[in-house]
Structures are given as C-alpha cells and as structure tokens.
Amino acid sequence: MRFAFFAATPPPGRLDGEEVVRMEMEATVQRRALLWALGSLAALLAIHGIGSGGFHVKLTELGYVIGTYLFVAGSTFRIVQWASRPGARMYLKGFVGRLKERQAARKVGGVLVQNLAAQRFIYRRSAFRWVTHLAISWGCLLSFALTFPLVLGWLQFRFVEPMHYQVIALGIPTITFPLGSPVAALAFNGLNLSALLLIIGLTLAYVGRIRRRREFPEGRPDWDLMPLHMLMLVGLTGLAITLDYKLLHGKTYLIWAVTHQVAVVVMLVWIPFSKLFHFLFRPLAVAIETYHTAEEQRAKQPCRMCQRPFASERQVSDLARVLGDEGFSQPVVGEFGRPIPDREMIEYCPDCKRQIRARRYLHMEVNHA
C-alpha cells in the first residue's frame, strides 16, 4: 500500500495525463488572452484615430499615449485570463442569465452603486478603512476618467473669443464656458482634485499600515507599501506641476513634468500585473454577488451523509461541471473505506467533508505505519 501511494505521483521529469491536459489548457488560455490583448490594441487604435480626428499626438504626451496602450493591452490580457477559468465562466454565465430578469437587473444596479461608488464592502471592516479606500478609489477613478480622454484626444478645450473655452468631445463641439467661471475651475483643476483625494487616502493608508505593522511585525512591508509609494509619487508630482505654474511661474516645470510622466507610465504598465489591478476586478465581482444572491433563494440540496440542506442544486451542478473541466480526481476515503472522487465530494456539506478528509488522512497514516 505504501508503494501504491507513492506510485500515484509521476517520477521527476515525467508528466501524467492530467498534468498534460492542465498544461494544454493553460497554453490555450494564454493564447486566447494574447489574441484579445492584440485585438484591444487594434480597437483602441481605431477609436483613438476616429475620436480625436486623426492621430495628433504631442511629443510631450507621447509617454502617456504609450503607457495607455500598454495598460489597455495588459488589462485585457489579465481579464481574459480570469474569464477563461471554468469558475469565472460559471459566474459570468449565471450573471448574464440573471440580467434577463427585471428584478435581478435592479439588484445589479444597487450592487454597482454600493460596491463601486460607495465602497460599502470596506465599511464592514472599519470606518477608517472605508474612508481610506473611498479616497484612494475615487482619486484613481477621477484621474483615469480625465486622463485617458485628454491623452487620446477624445476631450479637448478650444479657446474662443471673448475669453471663453469650448469643449470638444469626440470631435463634436459642445458647451462653452467663460474663463474664471466655476465650470472652468472644475474643468482645469479636475486632476488636481483627484490628486488631493489620492494623497489624503494614501496618507491614511500609511497610518493604517504603521498601526498594523506594530500588531503584525512579521508582514511584508516592502511588497505591501510599493503600490502606495507609486501612487503617492504620481499624486505629488502631478500637484507639483500646478504649484510650480502658480508659485514659481514654470521655473521647474520641466523637471516635474518629466518625473510625473515617467511615474505615470511606469504605474500604467505595472498595474495589470500588480495588486493594484484589483480595482478593475471590482465591477466583475458584481457577477459573483449576483450569482450567490440568486442561489440563496433556491431550494437547498441535502448532504449525502447527514441529509442537512447546504447548497442549491444549481450550485452543486455548476461546481461539478467546473471540477470536471479541471479534471480533479484525487480519491478520498469515505465513511466505509470506499474511495470518493472529488467530483462526488461536492455533494457533502462542509462539516461532513472535514470528517471524510480526516478519515482519509488517518487511513493514510495507518497504511504507512
């Protein structure tokens, strides 16, 4: 029995059938994500040219444009990677199916407001974390909402006489507002306001990290603080450009402009492959919450062992399909010594699963002895 247990593991340098299947599936996912990333670049290139009336890129904004293209490609690559997983496909299919119901559509709208606009999922932890997260998230969202249209030429401000500016959106002239009006102040200081929000939130985040470091000194502060350092550098250098213009009449503008552009480009390229990428997954989390909310209202399936209801039949069948796609088949010793494949384990409630797995480990110890 001891020999049979270790024989289930393939020798070094050799792969069993399941491992080969996993590698092929992973390669397929990578190819699909790469094709989608290239397609997103082509689509962005077309939208950039049409929306801006031609590719009129200023040399001083070239870095921002390149960073934006790399950010879109990298973000598409990561999102397609996630969406290609069997579990993610299950949530997305359930989400699309639920959108056909009017009541579910209203629920989705409420979840979007609570999760994205109000960040209520953080408030359950503490009010301090909620304010911190809210300031950082809205600072980032506002900066992205303003920077991308400006860099890609979708949003332009044209000076018209007498002392007015006209907003050009996607090449179409829209509203006109006088210089010095509240509208002008908001239009020309939107990025400054987003930088202030970001700096306030990051300062609170630093305070929170210092508190938690005292409680958990064994953490990884360098990895934990690097995203905060990057965002703070972007926010401070962005404000420095405005302060230099207002107070120093542009004497150090070139230094701050180049530093800010380099920081923004590095951050845009880094976001899709860092922990900061989670803010793009928040809208996708709506699919998960919608799926679970819908399944909570359905009849529960009883556990095969204790007969207590624990999950809906659809959840069990969806999970069985996901495990089937993944190809899990590790045997687990059941209540009568019968091997139970992982695909059947989902028909047991969590308490019974723990008992069954404990028996498996006990069974292994007995055979090893």
pLDDT at 200: 94
pLDDT at 43: 93
* Integer Cα distance of 311 and 78 in angstroms: 31
* Residue where a domain terminates, one of 197, 219, 241: 219
Angle at 73 between CA 68 and CA 74, to 5 degrees: 95
Q: How many domains does the chain have?
A: 2
Residue 255 domain-assigned (yes or no): no
162: which 2 tokens? 């007498």
Q: Which residue has the higher pLDDT, 110 or 200?
A: 200
* Integer Cα distance of 86 and 326 in angstroms: 8
- Of the pLDDT bands very low, low, confident and very high (cuts 50, 70, 90), residue 104 is low
* Mean pLDDT, rounded, for 52-78: 87
pLDDT at 366: 54
Instruction: Bin 311: left if φ > 0, else alpha if -120 < ψ < 50, else beta.
Output: beta
pLDDT at 341: 65
Residue with tokens 């922990």: 275
- Of the pLDDT bands very low, low, confident and very high (cuts 50, 70, 90), residue 333 is low
Residue 316 domain-assigned (yes or no): yes
71-91 b/e with 16+ CB inside 10 Å = b?
A: bbbbbbbbbbbbbbeeebbbb
Decide if pLDDT at 289 tops 80: no
* Mean pLDDT, rounded, for 231-246: 91
Decide if pLDDT at 17 tops 60: no
> Looking at the structure, do residues 214 and 123 belong to the same domain, yes or no?
yes
Domain that holds residue 170: 119-219
* Integer Cα distance of 252 and 260 in angstroms: 12
Residue 24 domain-assigned (yes or no): no
Angle at 91 between CA 87 and CA 94, to 5 degrees: 135
Residue 311 domain-assigned (yes or no): yes
Top mean-pLDDT range of 15-24, 135-144, 204-213: 135-144
Residue 308 domain-assigned (yes or no): yes
Taking alpha carbons only, the member of 38, 46, 116 closest to residue 72 is: 38
pLDDT at 36: 94
Decide if pLDDT at 332 tops 50: yes
Residue 334 domain-assigned (yes or no): yes
Tens digits of residue pLDDT in 157-172: 888 878 888 888 888 8
- Of the pLDDT bands very low, low, confident and very high (cuts 50, 70, 90), residue 350 is confident
pLDDT at 6: 34
Decide if pLDDT at 312 tops 50: yes
Residue 267 domain-assigned (yes or no): no
* Integer Cα distance of 134 and 140 in angstroms: 10
* Residue where a domain terminates, one of 219, 240, 268: 219
* Integer Cα distance of 256 and 240 in angstroms: 6
Residue 166: strand pairing partners: 158, 176
Decide if pLDDT at 177 tops 80: yes
pTM across the whole model: 0.73
* Residue where a domain terminates, one of 219, 248, 269: 219
Residue 225 domain-assigned (yes or no): no
- Of the pLDDT bands very low, low, confident and very high (cuts 50, 70, 90), residue 263 is very high
225-238 b/e with 16+ CB inside 10 Å = b?
A: eebbebbbbbbbbb
pLDDT at 161: 77
Angle at 156 between CA 136 and CA 151, to 5 degrees: 50
pLDDT at 331: 52
Tens digits of residue pLDDT in 178-189: 888 888 888 888
